[in-house]
Chain A
Amino acid sequence: MINIQPDIKFKKQLKEVSKSSLNECMQCGTCSVVCSLAPEEKPFPRKEMIWAGWGMKDKLIGNTDIWLCHQCGDCSTYCPRGVKPADVFSAVREISYQHYAKPKFLGKILNNPKWLPIAILIPIIIISTILYLAGTLQIPEGPVNYSKFFPHVWLNSSFTFLSFLTIALGIAGLRNFWKDLRLQYPDFKPSGSFIKHLFSIRKEIILHSNFSKCSNKKSRKIAHLLVFYGFILLLFVTAFAIYAAIVHKYPLAITNPFKILGNVAAMMLLIGLGIMIMNRIFDRKDFGNSTYADWLFLISMFLLTISGVVVQAARFLDWGIAYHLYFFHLICVWFIIIYLPYTKFGHLLYRVVAMVFAASAGRK
């Protein structure tokens, strides 16, 4: 028996974020049937829709099923009342980033356009402060050499530190998320370790097989794979770059295999992101409502990639504005890496955790 006290504020937020009218759901269950990913027992998204309608925040936040959805949009296409469950799910995910955000204010400022200036100001101030501390807060003279502007030691140590900090904060959020997931499954008895279940879903992560089950648009899977592997490749190249910087072989020549790999990765990202952006702009019917969080993530990722390529070009071509571009690029890096748990990029963490949970709870 559950005592109901609708959380009207949450419901309104959900409506606002999802742009779904939400209320007109008549609980017919068409959505649960047309969804290729919904399990046989307690399928989604029909039950989530009445929880949403009744403002049952506790049921929605910290719900595994919200993250098992891959947003193919079939439910929205076939919904007889036009309530777009897919967008509601997406909105719940977005609200989850804020809900589990630690510190809270970061969740807030990254999910509301009115706080965007603050979100931008934070990296500007912190990076400037680091540069100030490093004593390089000025445009260096001579041929373009970014380490003159941001010495490698300072760059690598400060960003590594911040990345670890963000990971720590992210994990703290995820722990709460995990707790909530367990709350919704009172019968949950974990069988085996987190790592074991993570291993069990490797195929899904590597191949994106669930994406193929979604009937809508092949291009979604391709785009996601391109971005996914492009980004991993870039992470790898960046790791190598840090190593190279430590052993003083940096900067790399344009013909360096790693440099080439980095550029290939950038191309993958650009193509993937390009498809995603195009789909979101031109195919709203199939791709649903695009929220601020969607755009913030997509655009910052896009800018990160573009600026990376431009910064590299600026070095080789010795452009005057190279350092400004470089500074901009660092802000993009900040948005993607340091802000990861608070933006849509957080789905990387939450979805994986939810999938691991689902695997360990035997939910298929």
Chain B
Amino acid sequence: MEKKIGVYICSGCEIGKSIDIEKLSQIASEQNVTICKNHSSLCSIEGFDLISSDIANENIDRVIIAACSPRLKTEVFDFPENVLLDRANIREQVAWSMEPNEEDTQMAAEDCLRMSIAKVANTEIPNPFIADNISSDILVVGGGITGITAAIDGAKAGYKVHIIEKEEKLGGWLNKLHKQIPYAAPYSELINPEIEDKIKELEKLDNIQIHTSTTIKEISGQPGHFEVQLLNGKEEKVIVGSIVTATGWQAYDANKLSYLGYGNPKVLTNVEFEEFVKNNPGKEFPKNILFIQCAGSRDKGHLPYCSAFCCATSLKQAKYIRDLSPESNVFVVYKDIRTLGLYEEFYKEIQKDDQIFFTKGEIEKVIPEKNNISVQVKDTLIGEDISLSVDMLVLATGMIPNGTEDLNLNYRLGKGLPELKYNFSDSHFICFPYETRRTGIYAAGSLREPMNIASSKSDASGAMLKAIQTIQATKRGEAVHPRSGDKSYPDLFLDRCTDCKRCTEECPFGSYDENEKGTPLPNPNRCRRCGICLGSCPERVINFADYSINSISAMIKSVEVPDEFEEKPRILVFVCENDAYPAMDMAAQKGLKYSPFVRVIPVRCLGSINKVWISDALSKGYDGILQIGCKPGDDYQCHFIHGSELTETRGENIQETLETMMLEPERIKTEFVEITDYDKIPKIINDYVEDIELIGPNPFKEL
């Protein structure tokens, strides 16, 4: 089908005062464009009607709006689905950020339009990938309170849920609890364990299938259709659309805490103590009991982190000791009492007891004696070192996340979810706690980060929502966060694939499996549309309908590069559209100006930049290439995990290209910015332009 391109140039918002619109329109006529029109305010109703009528009457199916940033007025430019829209950002990226009415500014605007035309000419409207075997069932792995809560929420929302538990009985840790911490005021009384009620609630729901004493042999497939092989004496296969994993935690190995007396029968961990009380109802406690907080926690030699639940748990245990045993004295030695938020009220309630004694302190020595244990504590609040003779010692030990290897994912990148520091299967993002690197599989509860029961329950509900959402998005053929709604997906031309495995290795989301030969087997529903595979492919066989090797190459090549005698260098700027692009917009909106020699191409992620674009640009005669993206590193801000980082690992490869082309290494530069760094944008650009001017023009210009 022939592409009918309509170009609409807006002269409003000072664009017309900065750029010669007539001259700009001529660019369109030089190209293969059906219609080119100007308007003083395209975002007005008249402007919209102008375009709409062309779509209706002239069969325009490619619309270019050369006006403000595509981040603005999105709700105005809402055209039928069969129309491909591109926004040439001549307001923020040219008119507002470059000196008005200069030749160079005009050239920038013209190139901007040329790139847009080249882009739409080489772009298709994505046809979503919608599998025909999508299951709306959800698998919940782990039958603790987190799994149970998730399952209940899923079922109540109308989805069939399979919940699996490796033990014979659902309930997990909560089965071992004697009492629970109150969820809300009043905090003066402990509550009875809720797990029995929860299990009953779960069992009552008819769209829940409970699989106890069950493990997973293998999970394969992708969101919408995961094949799960269950092992329960026999093998059983279930098909689900998405998965919530809530495999929980284990207690820190107290055998490593012999310096705190562990090994002595009078020394128990908090979980052992809880179980002991649960299993010995009515038993009186000895006279003096000491709780040592942060036993093996907040300790570089053991668990460097805080487990978030132990302070309140010890308070709870102190409380029921005192309820059951009025003669007992309970001592608590802590580093900081961490009863965050409203749990402060719980702390205060526990403090009210005359025989619960608190002090900050460091345990100096634990000396087992004949009838009791003597504990020496330094740095106390009492003003001197103290020793306590106690009959029982409770070590408030922390939690270690259970891994997710038991999911037995049949994925190229491993059986479990990727883990962050200290082996938590967490999202890296503060704003997006359910961000997952295995699309459709969401971690919930203490395997994600240390959390208490209340927090785990809330987490379970959130993870279930994400699981439901994945199924729905998959049904629509759309990506999930962060490119939610994106209907494009990678299309592989496997005939030319050399089985180099770069795409399968570099995809942050494990989208690709491999056959024995190493040929990638794509799973479009695992894909998050970052384009990193596109960037990785040396054979350029991976493309998206609306984001391809060709479309960007065409954009690069569409720019008119002046020859070297004109002293008008051209810098190609690849801008990550997540943070750097908005930052450039903001710079312009703040009235900051930068060099008119730059030509900007937004990319989905720096990791999606293919080497061929670099060589295309250099061959075309660009004098330098600047890549601006999100921060890599431990505290990465790259929305696709290691996209930015890849620019560094791939950098070597690219430097080789430069060498073979006999070009200076400085001709390619990468800069990392935060979205709020808009004030740094002009300096980054201008400094680079200066550097390039010093190096001199790209020798390929002449060719």
Contacts and interface: CB of A to CB of B under 8 A. Distances in A.
Contact of A47 (B353, B360, B383, B386): B383
A72 B6 CA distance: 83
A284 B525 CA distance: 71
Contacts of A6: 329, 355, 357
A4 to B, nearest CB: 5
Range, interface on chain B: 20 to 34
B359 interface: yes
Given A1-B387, A2-B386, A8 B354 contact: yes
A contact face: mostly helix, strand, loop, or mixed: loop
B352 interface: yes
B388 A23 contact: no
- Between B351, B360, B376, B387, the greatest number of chain A beta carbons within 10 A of the residue's beta carbon is seen for B351
A51 B359 CA distance: 11
B387 A27 contact: no
Given A3-B389, A4-B388, A23 B353 contact: yes
A279 B676 CA distance: 59
Given A2-B387, A3-B387, A4-B388, A51 B354 contact: no
A146 interface: no
A15 B351 CA distance: 14
Contacts of A47: 381-383
A27 B357 contact: no
B539 to A, nearest CB: 66
B382 A23 contact: no
Interface in B146-179: none
Counting chain A CB atoms within 10 Å of each CB, which of B337, B355, B360 scores highest? B355
A275 B402 CA distance: 69
B476 interface: no
Interface in B389-410: 389
Interface string B337-356: 10000000000100111111
B54 interface: no
Contacts of A51: 382
Contacts of A179: none
Contacts of B369: none
B81 interface: no
A24 B329 contact: no
A4 B383 contact: no
- The winner among B358, B382, B389 for most chain A CB atoms within 10 A is B382
B143 to A, nearest CB: 39
A1 B376 contact: yes
Contact of A1 (B348, B352, B386): B386
B384 interface: yes
A57 to B, nearest CB: 14
A27 B389 CA distance: 23
Contacts of B329: 6, 8
A81 B348 contact: yes
A4 B387 contact: yes
Interface string B483-496: 00000000000000
A25 B351 CA distance: 8
Interface in A33-88: 42, 47, 50-51, 53-54, 56, 81
A293 to B, nearest CB: 22
Nearest to A42: B383
A12 interface: yes
A24 B384 contact: no
11 contacts: A1-B384, A1-B386, A2-B387, A4-B386, A5-B389, A8-B355, A15-B354, A26-B351, A47-B381, A50-B359, A81-B348
A-B pairs with the 5 shortest C-beta distances? A1-B385, A24-B351, A23-B351, A27-B381, A3-B387
Given A1-B376, A6-B355, A50-B382, 19 more contacts: A1-B384, A1-B385, A2-B384, A2-B385, A2-B386, A3-B386, A4-B386, A4-B387, A6-B329, A15-B354, A21-B352, A24-B348, A47-B382, A50-B381, A51-B382, A54-B357, A54-B359, A54-B382, A81-B348
